[in-house]
Every structure is written in structure tokens, then in C-alpha cells.
Amino acid sequence: MTAKHPIKRQRWIYVLLLTFVLLGLSAVIQTSSRTTDPNAVFATDNENGMAGPAPSEPNDPNDKRAIRPLHTHPAFSERIKERLRMVETQIEARDINDPNVLKAMRTVPRHAFVRPSEQRYAYADHPLPIGYDQTISQPYIVAFMTEALKLDPNSVVFEVGTGSGYQAAVCAEICKEVYSIEIVEELARIAKVRLKELGYPNVFTRAGDAFFGWPEHAPFDAIIGTAAAGRIPEPLIEQLKIGGRMILPYGSPYGFQHLVVITKDKEGKLESKNVMPVRFVPMTGEVQKPK
């Protein structure tokens, strides 16, 4: 009886080996049949558990894929009623009608852009300090300036003064890309980290003097300024696309200011219009030097 046991074991080994060979051939045939179709599209799961390629690293302006805000951070599901009330009472009530702007203002969690000591006032109708003598703008002003730019999903925006990053996030909800420069290095660092954590891969930031714009990514469809100056930086005029729009506070950094909307026609000529008296923090850097 014991002489038959090795033969039985050998037969089982042969059966197992044959099974593995047949399974391997089947897998090769299936893979070949899929890859021979030139129009085949393969979806993979990225690190966020979503089908498709993983989103690019935020603040990487060399990645030209279509990238959109992710809205997966817990802050987006917090204080929703406060945002809805803010839009209804502060923004819609003052004739801001662009549905894209209203949606963006309802979506972006303003409380994620203010300091812990200011959290209770995050959705109040006034600016708030963010440190370094800078502020996060009043929600209505953010909405007004965004609507004035007439953004669409293909717009590329340049922002003068990142600050907390809130204005950039609102624009990023509507447009394709936002390029933002902040002259206060620590604010630039904080905003970059915050926007990355909140999932804004279409906002690109850096520390520097926004007077010179971001020429390697110009021309821009829209330019928005969040600090006041007595003159409009010439490089920004050059980097505004034909047919583009610019809005920024213009006037004495410590006195009377207006929001001014500037458009560039097909011949490159500029037309400006004062649209609202305002009070913004002063723009610093090159703009303060004599022309």
C-alpha cells in the first residue's frame, strides 16, 4: 500500500501544475484582448479612492491636466448653514447674481481661512485680521470682485496678494487655474499649505512681489488685486490678455480708494471704470518706489 502513495502525490502535483499553466494562459489572453483595442480606457484607483489618475500636486504649475477642487476635506461639510445664510443676507441681498459666484461662496469654507481666535466671526459681514497687518476681505467684497471678472471654466486668473488664500479658493471654484503671489513670505507659506490641505490643485502660489506678475504663465484672462496702490503695475497691464478684465483697489494706500475695473480691447487699449469706494491694506514692494 505504501508504494502507491508517491505515485498519487506525483499525479496531484501534475494536476496542480497544469491548472496554474491554464490560468496563466487565460490571463495573458484576456490582457492581450484588452490592450489591442486602441480606444480602450483603463480606470485606476488613486490615493483618494477615486477612479482616474491621481490629481497633481497642488501648486505645481507644470502640470497642465484639467484639475478641479476636491471638496473632500471635512471643512466643506462644516458650518454649511452659516455659509448659506451669509450668501442669502450679505451677497444675494446686494444684487450679486452670477450663479457661479453664489455657488462658490456657498462652497468655500471661510472658517478654514481665519485664525482660531476669529472663528466665531468667520461668516460675519466684515474683514478679519489674519496676522502680519493683513486681512481676509469682507465676503461681499470677495463676491463682488469675483463677479466683476466674469470668470468661466476656461479662465486663467492672476491674483495680487494671496493673503489667507480665500479669494484664490473662491476663484478656483469657477475658473481653470489661479496663480497667486504673496509678498509676506510666512503668509505665502501658510496659504500654500492650507490650499493643499483643502484640496485646491488648480491654485498655484509663491512668495514674491506681485508687481511683476507671473510672466511665464501670462497672458491672463483676469487679474484681481487684493491690496491698494497709487498706480497700476505696468507688468500686470502687459500680462492682461486681449479682452481680459482686471479689478483692483486704486488710490492712496492710506486714504481714499476705489475698486477699478480695467478692460483691454482688441487693439490693446485700456478702459477703466470706478465701481466702488473701498479700503484695502496697502500693496508693498516695487509699487511703492517712484515710477
In the predicted structure, residue 22 carries a pLDDT above the cut 80: no
19 and 149, same domain (yes or no): no
115 and 12, same domain (yes or no): no
Q: Which domain holds residue 19?
A: 2-35
What is the model's pLDDT at position 28?
Answer: 43
274 and 154, same domain (yes or no): yes
Cα–Cα distance, 258 to 287 (Å, whole number): 17
106 and 227, same domain (yes or no): yes
What is the model's pLDDT at position 288?
Answer: 80
Q: Over the stretch 250-291, which tens digit does the pLDDT of each residue have?
A: 988 777 899 999 999 988 899 999 999 888 888 899 888 877
19 and 87, same domain (yes or no): no
Cα–Cα distance, 91 to 106 (Å, whole number): 10
136 and 242, same domain (yes or no): yes
The enclosing H or E element of 8 equals helix 5-35
127 and 243, same domain (yes or no): yes
Residue 201 lies in a domain: yes
Kindly report the average pLDDT of the chain as a whole number: 84
Residue 107 lies in a domain: yes
What is the model's pLDDT at position 64?
Answer: 52
Residue 59 lies in a domain: no
Higher pLDDT, 288 or 142: 142
Q: What is the pTM of this model?
A: 0.77
What is the model's pLDDT at position 34?
Answer: 39
Residue 8 has a CB neighbour count (10 Å cut-off) of 9
**CATH code, domain with 140:** 3.40.50.150
Q: Place 18 in a pLDDT band, splitting at 50, 70 and 90.
A: low
146 and 20, same domain (yes or no): no
Residue 68 lies in a domain: no
Residue 163 has a CB neighbour count (10 Å cut-off) of 25
In the predicted structure, residue 85 carries a pLDDT above the cut 70: yes
Is 155 assigned a catalytic role?
Answer: no
What is the model's pLDDT at position 60?
Answer: 54
Catalytic-role residue among 137, 155, 164, 180? 137
196 and 274, same domain (yes or no): yes
Cα–Cα distance, 122 to 78 (Å, whole number): 12
223 and 85, same domain (yes or no): yes
Higher pLDDT, 151 or 45: 151
Count of domains observed in the chain: 2
276 and 137, same domain (yes or no): yes
- Which CB contacts under 8 angstroms, 24+ apart, belong to 229-232? 229/253, 229/282, 229/283, 229/287, 229/288, 230/287, 231/287, 231/291, 232/262
Q: What is the mean pLDDT of residues 206-229?
A: 95
Residue 67 lies in a domain: no
Question: HSE (CB half, 13 Å, CA atoms) of 110?
Answer: 31
Q: What is the mean pLDDT of residues 133-152?
A: 97
Residue 84 lies in a domain: yes
In the predicted structure, residue 57 carries a pLDDT above the cut 50: no
What is the model's pLDDT at position 63?
Answer: 54
102 and 31, same domain (yes or no): no
Q: Place 9 in a pLDDT band, splitting at 50, 70 and 90.
A: low
Q: Angle at the Cα of 166 (from 162 to 171), degrees rounded to 5?
A: 90
Residue 44 lies in a domain: no
Residue 12 lies in a domain: yes
Cα–Cα distance, 53 to 65 (Å, whole number): 10
**Inter-residue contact 100 to 149 (CB < 8 Å):** no
What is the model's pLDDT at position 45?
Answer: 29
What is the model's pLDDT at position 234?
Answer: 94
